[in-house]
Amino acid sequence: MDLENQKRVKEFAEKYGAENLVVVLGAAEGEASGLAAETVTNGDPTFAGPLTGVQLGLTVYHVCEPEIKNEVDAAVYDEQVGMMEMVLDVDDIIAEMTPIREDFCKYL
């Protein structure tokens, strides 16, 4: 997650309260999704951005996870995400995201 997005997430958490936010990621790989998920939950693991040492504990999902997919109108999901989902390793993404949520999310 780039530094500008870290800054935005931190500002939103301060403004709206971390318990009122859900971060939805769309990275193409499980590892990238996991890194971003860890950043918004446990702090920036690269120690380079505004979330270094900041444990927001935000709820975080990838757009292809069932918890998000089931909440979106099927036609809209297919139009916006369907093609991407066909080429992603969704199982790898879920395997990367689940333990991070279990370990670091405070607001599930």
Q: What is the mean pLDDT of the chain?
A: 97
d(CA 67, CA 71): 7
d(CA 37, CA 74): 25
* pLDDT given at position 72: 96
**Whether the model pTM is above 0.85:** yes
d(CA 73, CA 29): 24
Measured at the CA of 36, the angle between CA 63 and CA 90, to 5 degrees, comes to 40
* pLDDT given at position 2: 94
How confident is the model over 46-62, as a mean pLDDT? 96
Give SS3 for 23. Answer: strand
* pLDDT given at position 22: 98
* pLDDT given at position 27: 96
Residue 108 scores a pLDDT above 90: no
